[in-house]
Amino acid sequence: MSDRGYLQASNGIRSWLLTTDHKRIGILYAVAVAAFFLLGGLFAMLVRAELAVPGETIMGQDAYNQSFTLHGVVMVFLVIIPAIPGILGNFVLPLQIGARDVAFPRLNLASWYIFMVGAVLALCGWLVVGNVDTGWTFYTPYSSDGSAAVLWLTTAVFIAGFASIFTGLNFIVTVHKMRAPGMTWNRLPLFVWAIYATAIVQVLATPVIGITMVLLFLERLLQIGIFDPALGGDPVLFQHFFWFYSHPAVYIMILPAMGIISELMGTFSRQQVSGYTFIALSSVAIAFLGFLVWGHHMFVAGQSAISSIIFSMLTFLIGIPTGIKVFNWVATMYKGSVWLQTPMLYALMFLFLFAIGGLTGIMVGVLAVDVHLHDTYFIVAHFHYVMMGGAMIALIGGLHYWWPKITGRMYSETAGKIAAGMVFVGFNLTFFTQFVMGSRGMPRRYHDYKQLLAQYPEFAGWHLASSIGSFVLAAGLFMILIYGLRSLRHGPPASANPWGAATLEWTHTAVTPAAHNFHRTPLVTRGPYDYHLAPELFRSEEQAEHPVATNQEDNIRE
């Protein structure tokens, strides 16, 4: 019975493209996002290759400007925003709350298609019109009287936004209405809390980017004069509109990642996640505060000093709920039993990198300091530490963690650890160097720095080191891709609960869950991290190794 998991429930390409099974939709997202990540990564490598040595090497100014724009647009709108909710939120969330599916499965599939339409339009903008060179921030008036590709991109972002809205809406309703009996709010796994908080942000913030894109579209098409100063419009107003969404959006990126980290810290420390309530509620606090700080991107943009001061203060407040999470994750290991498997290595790596990214976020939130650091590589380093080092590393850790549940196979632990090491070293070499050159004055979005070398000769060394690091990082990521794909065929079969985790997706489903997840709706009698109440999950090596012997239904305690 347990071998008839959702993967074999039906066959053929149609069974995938028309599926309403949340698990399969999760995989559709995984495939799409991985492809876009490769594409975004390719553009990143072009950027780094050009900057490796001074002078024009592999491409000219226009090509460079398009590369970083496409890199930013692809990574933000097509990778990191849909990634965790789309892949792991879809796959894991219904399982974790004991539901048979999300509340609106067809809407869920529709979201994926909407997302793909948006993605295709964005790529059309690049391939058909070309000259996409506004930066991912689309600042007017540069965008509103530049390349016509802006029309495609704004449409793409508008449409992809709906996918995000519908995903969020689906999850909110699912969490409210579809929980299994006994799954009270304080028994929700922290990943669910995090996705829930994310969904609130998605629903509340995304419509604003939608309307911003509509206005920008019309500005470019009809010159409506809202944002273009030549027509009496106000470019700073555009920045307000843009960041009103795009700051909350960074919490769409990081909150689910934090949810993954909570799961990993709990499972691999086999200990109650310290400060459960604090972590759960701090997600909600971050989601809420995230709406009030957008102006910190505009300290030198010409907004009034008083707004800058208020935004700076609110920015700092976000550090506090985030700090609560970080400290609690660390404290979770106290008196635990820490198992340093690959997913846990990524969790620890997340702590390291996200702490740097977050603390430098606080640094750039300091008004007088940001004046110097704004639009330098210091900012580039800050956001790569939180986005790549935080969100993407957590995603990679989460994929390793749920891999056995998704595919029914184990990947090679040795390869996993080596790749993790390469990613860690490569990442820090790539981006730590950028902090130094940034605070020394290297501006971002620069095609070249040859002319700066006369006065700042050190830039050459830092850039070269950064480029070398990026190739190490890329090699590490490729290694993950390869051993991951390999494990699909050659990986040893997994057990239903290889990590001894205590949440429902591990305890109450087959190796790969059945099409409808649970044969009987689980009755929840304990918290998500009450390992001491469920010792049967890992007490015997025998059982852990051969879980087929444990019929998952025996675990339902009624």
Partner 1 sequence: MQDRGGFWLPEAASSLAGDVDALFNFVLYTSMVLFAAVIGSTIYLAVRYRRRNQADCPAPFKESKWLEVSWIIIPTVLVVIVFTWGFQLFIRLGVSPPNSYEITVRAAKWNWLFEYPNGARSNVLHVPVRRPVRLRMSSSDVIHSLFVPAFRVKMDVLPGRYTYAWFEATRQDTFPLMCTEYCGQQHSTMLTDVIALSQDKFDTWLESASIDESMPPSARGELLFLQQGCQACHSVDGTPSVGPTLQGIAMSEREFTDGTRAVADDNYLREAILNPAAQVVQGYAPLMPGQYAATLASEEIDALVAYLQVLEVP
Partner 2 sequence: MSSVTQGDTLKHYFASAEQQFDAAKMGMWLFLITEVLLFSGMFVAYTVYRVWHPEVFAHASELLDWQLGALNTLVLLASSFTVALSIHFMQQNEKEKVVVLLLITLLCATAFMVVKYFEYTGKFAHGIFPGAGYEPYGESHGKSYADYDIPFAAQFFSIYFIMTGIHGVHVLVGMVLFAWLATRVARGHFSSAYYTPLELTGLYWHLVDIIWIFLFPLLYLI
Interacting residues with partner 2 (CB under 8 A): 99-101, 103-105, 107, 165, 169-170, 172-174, 176-178, 203-204, 206-208, 210-212, 214-215, 218-219, 221-226, 231-234, 237, 241, 516, 521
Q: Please provide residue 520's backbone torsions phi and psi, each rounded to the nearest 5 degrees.
A: -130, 140
Q: How many CA atoms lie within 13 A of 442 on its CB side?
A: 28
- Residue positions counted in the chain: 558
Supply the minimum distance, in Å, between the C-beta of residue 121 and partner 2. Answer: 19
Supply the minimum distance, in Å, between the C-beta of residue 303 and partner 1. Answer: 10
Cβ atoms < 10 Å from Cβ of 541: 8
Interface with ligand HEA: number of residues (CB under 6 A): 62
Single out the segment in contact with partner 1 by CB under 8 A; choices: 38-46, 97-105, 449-457, 482-490: 449-457
Task: Note whether 432 binds partner 1 by CB under 8 A.
Answer: no
Supply the minimum distance, in Å, between the C-beta of residue 487 and partner 2. Answer: 30
Among 148, 230, 237, 481, binds ligand HEA (CB under 6 A): 481
CA quadruple 194, 197, 203, 209: dihedral sign: negative
Q: Give the type of residue at 438.
A: G
CA quadruple 333, 335, 336, 338: dihedral sign: positive
Scanning residues 160 to 219, which ones bind partner 1 (CB under 8 A)? none
Give the span between the Cα atoms of 32 and 34, in whole angstroms: 5
Task: Note whether 37 binds ligand HEA by CB under 6 A.
Answer: yes
Supply the minimum distance, in Å, between the C-beta of residue 186 and partner 1. Answer: 14
Q: Please, are residues 271 and 335 in contact by the beta-carbon 8 Å criterion? A: yes
Among 1, 334, 492, 516, binds partner 1 (CB under 8 A): 334
Among 54, 182, 207, 319, binds partner 1 (CB under 8 A): 319
Give the span between the Cα atoms of 410 and 400, in whole angstroms: 9
Task: Note whether 542 binds partner 1 by CB under 8 A.
Answer: no
Q: How many CA atoms lie within 13 A of 251 on its CB side?
A: 35
Quote the tokens at residue 397. Answer: 């850790």
Scanning residues 362 to 381, which ones bind partner 1 (CB under 8 A)? 362-363, 366-369, 371-372, 374-376
Give the span between the Cα atoms of 234 and 373, in whole angstroms: 25
Query: 164 vs 360, which CB is nearer to partner 2?
Result: 164
Nearest to 408 by CA among 529, 289, 489: 489
**Which of Cu ion, ligand HEA, partner 2, none does residue 129 bind (CB under 5 to 8 Å by kind)?**
none
Give the span between the Cα atoms of 272 and 337, in whole angstroms: 11
**Tokens 């009103």 belong to which residue?**
244
Give the span between the Cα atoms of 102 and 53, in whole angstroms: 50
**Tokens 């980017």 belong to which residue?**
209
Supply the minimum distance, in Å, between the C-beta of residue 64 and ligand HEA. Answer: 7
Q: Please provide residue 143's backbone torsions phi and psi, each rounded to the nearest 5 degrees.
A: -75, -30
Query: 245 vs 354, which CB is nearer to partner 2?
Result: 245
Query: 43 vs 268, which CB is nearer to ligand HEA?
Result: 43
Binding mask 275-304 for ligand HEA (x = CB under 6 A): ---------------------xx-------
Task: Note whether 540 binds partner 1 by CB under 8 A.
Answer: yes
Quote the tokens at residue 423. Answer: 């990613």
Supply the minimum distance, in Å, between the C-beta of residue 175 and partner 2. Answer: 10
Task: Note whether 302 binds partner 1 by CB under 8 A.
Answer: yes
Among 301, 464, 468, 515, binds partner 1 (CB under 8 A): 301
Task: Note whether 451 binds partner 1 by CB under 8 A.
Answer: yes
Q: Please, are residues 273 and 328 in contact by the beta-carbon 8 Å criterion? A: yes
Residue 360 sits at the vertex; the CA angle it makes with 358 and 364, to the nearest 5 degrees, is 115
Give the span between the Cα atoms of 467 and 473, in whole angstroms: 10
Supply the minimum distance, in Å, between the C-beta of residue 37 and ligand HEA. Answer: 5
Task: Note whether 406 binds ligand HEA by CB under 6 A.
Answer: no
Q: How does DSSP assign 461-512, residue by residue?
A: HHHHHHHHHHHHHHHHHHHHHHHHHHHHHHSPBPPS-TT---SHHHHSS-SS
Residue ranges in 142-189 assigned as alpha helix (H): 149-177
Query: 408 vs 484, which CB is nearer to ligand HEA?
Result: 484
Q: Please, are residues 207 and 215 in contact by the beta-carbon 8 Å criterion? A: no
Query: 115 vs 241, which CB is nearer to partner 2?
Result: 241
Supply the minimum distance, in Å, between the C-beta of residue 297 and Cu ion. Answer: 5
Supply the minimum distance, in Å, between the C-beta of residue 133 and ligand HEA. Answer: 10
Among 22, 24, 48, 405, binds ligand HEA (CB under 6 A): 48
Among 107, 129, 284, 359, binds partner 1 (CB under 8 A): 359
Supply the minimum distance, in Å, between the C-beta of residue 515 and partner 1. Answer: 32
- DSSP state at residue 130: -
Residues that bind ligand HEA (CB under 6 A): 34, 37-38, 41, 44-45, 47-48, 68-69, 71-72, 75-76, 79-80, 135-137, 250, 253-254, 296-297, 315, 318-319, 322-323, 326, 355, 358-359, 361-362, 364-365, 370, 374, 379-380, 382-384, 386-388, 390-392, 396, 430, 444-446, 470, 473-474, 477-478, 480-481
